[in-house]
A and B are shown apart, each in its own frame.
Chain A
Amino acid sequence: MTVILNQSFTGISIGAVLLLIALGLTLTFGQMGVINMAHGEFIMAGAYTTYVLQKSISSAGVSLLVALPLAFLVAGAMGVLLEWLLIRRLYTRPLDTLLVTWGVSLMLQQLARDIFGAPNVQTSAPDLLTGNISLGGGITFANSRLFILGLALLCVLALTLILKLTPLGRRIRAVVQNRDLAEVSGIATGQVDRMTFFIGSGLAGVAGVALTLVGPIGPTMGTNYIVDAFLVVVVGGIGQLKGSVITAFALGVLQSVLEYSTTVSVAKVMVLVAIVAFLQWRPQGLYTLRTRSLA
């Protein structure tokens, strides 16, 4: 029983990482139908931002706190640049966007290799986040994982508030639901797209900061997470925040419980089979925007 609970907690922390990464994707994929493969490299940019900061600010705690907003800005700016340079020209061809942004992702990885070198680098976590917290009954939870969970939930909350309460959020939701109508209603959809991309990519940067706490920083770190994060969005329902939250944790727990009963690799395959089976039941994902449009 303890083992299962422990695995579940591990799963929740895997889910939290997935959620942080998928949040930005839900926005960009959901709003624009754009599959941005370079999203993984925005994560990498966030992680390297943390690394660079830690070199100039000696205190790990301070540098982490500064890194969070800074990584958001760095990754967000990269996202806006990408949207402006390439993606806005490809809105009618979402699948081609996948390949184009994959090309961008290759170049960004090489750029990272040229700047920081091919080997992985490490940052040191602040002392506060290095220990474990005991939840009693032999169940422990790493502080860093707890921090990531908190950060993910905070981001969900902030994003929800932005979408529900601000004029920008209203515009974003309007564009998600009916782009043409939003446009003729006087919403500058181009600007809204760019803002969405800024927020979505910025969240990838924040995810990158979080990942420095649990693993090394390297040029290909983004690739390892990107497909899983896309699966979260697909299963959750495109553009559905609620769906992504539930799915991220569900997949995280499923993965780690299966890992315990089998092996890491078999668990991966089983999770994928589960996803295909799930899509049989709900081809559009957990939550969908229902419309009457056809053909």
Chain B
Amino acid sequence: MSGEGLTVRDLRVTFDGFKAVDGVDLDIRPGDLRFLIGPNGAGKTTLVDAVTGLVKATGSVTFGGEELLGKPVHKIARLGIGRTFQTATVFEELTVLQNLDIAAGSGRGPLTLLRRRKGVPESVTKALETTGLTDLRDRPAGVLAHGQKQWLEIGMLLVQDVKLLLLDEPVAGMSHDEREATGALLQRVSEDHTVVVIEHDMDFMRSFARSVSVLHAGKMLSEGTVAEVQADAKVQEVYLGRASEPEPAAVPVPEEA
């Protein structure tokens, strides 16, 4: 499988009169590794919120032929769309293994749920390997380092068997090495999933993006390959010529433990 495509048409989200997303069209091909960039307040996170059912929106969002707008969050998730948040949210009191097992189980029947977990589902073992968390599987997720929590979240999306991953700033606050490892992880994941990444980090984008969309003030400013987008005069203007400069978040932080 190579994931499913996402089609967004004329998406609008309004907060008390403020147009956070203002008529966005977006086409993401199956198997793409798309980066969604833009200045703060451009509407990137709100776009993802709208797609995943967290905020109300008008327009149309279709995925594998199904209209998403108006569906509750958990139904959208079951169609195969998973997301992460800017601050990693894992279940801190449960172990890494338990976190992954829960993520793997939204389709479980009551009888399976009422029984004790015996052994480890294959998909969970695979996700542990993919994310490099095998050695930490019996640790409570609360004690993981920041980067490891982000990987766990991605691992949870993998076992959830999603076709489309929406990642909100997965490398924010990560060290250089962690960032490289995450990039490699994303490339591996995108081999058989569609991935959309919201990112501020331009270096990271240049290294790993297959295609890029630039949002500005709730509207789509530019789309294309990394090179095309960087050459776009409108984009350079929005970023005040900083398109080639890394943002503050990209300054390598000292290695964490």
A interface residues, Cβ below 8 angstroms from B: 290, 292, 294-295
Measured as residues with beta carbon below 8 angstroms from the partner, the interface class of chain B is: under 10
CA separation between A295 and B89, bound complex, in Å?
8
B interface residues, Cβ below 8 angstroms from A: 15-16, 49, 54, 85, 89
A–B Cβ pairs within 8 angstroms, 8 of them: A290-B15, A290-B16, A292-B15, A294-B49, A294-B54, A294-B85, A295-B85, A295-B89
Q: In whole Å, how far is A293's beta carbon from the nearest beta carbon of chain B?
A: 11
Q: Is the interface of A mostly helix, strand, loop or mixed?
A: loop
CA separation between A292 and B21, bound complex, in Å?
14
Contacts of A295 in B (CB 8 A): 85, 89
Q: In whole Å, how far is B185's beta carbon from the nearest beta carbon of chain A?
A: 23
CA separation between A290 and B14, bound complex, in Å?
13
Q: In whole Å, how far is A178's beta carbon from the nearest beta carbon of chain B?
A: 16
Contacts of B89 in A (CB 8 A): 295
Contacts of A294 in B (CB 8 A): 49, 54, 85
Q: In whole Å, how far is A95's beta carbon from the nearest beta carbon of chain B?
A: 17
Contacts of B16 in A (CB 8 A): 290
Contacts of A290 in B (CB 8 A): 15-16
CA separation between A231 and B233, bound complex, in Å?
58
CA separation between A165 and B136, bound complex, in Å?
55
Q: Which 3 A-B pairs have the closest CB atoms?
A: A295-B89, A295-B85, A294-B54
Contacts of B15 in A (CB 8 A): 290, 292
CA separation between A294 and B49, bound complex, in Å?
10
Q: In whole Å, how far is A180's beta carbon from the nearest beta carbon of chain B?
A: 13
- Closest B residue to A294 by beta carbon equals B54
Contacts of B49 in A (CB 8 A): 294
- Closest A residue to B85 by beta carbon equals A295
CA separation between A290 and B85, bound complex, in Å?
20
- Closest A residue to B54 by beta carbon equals A294
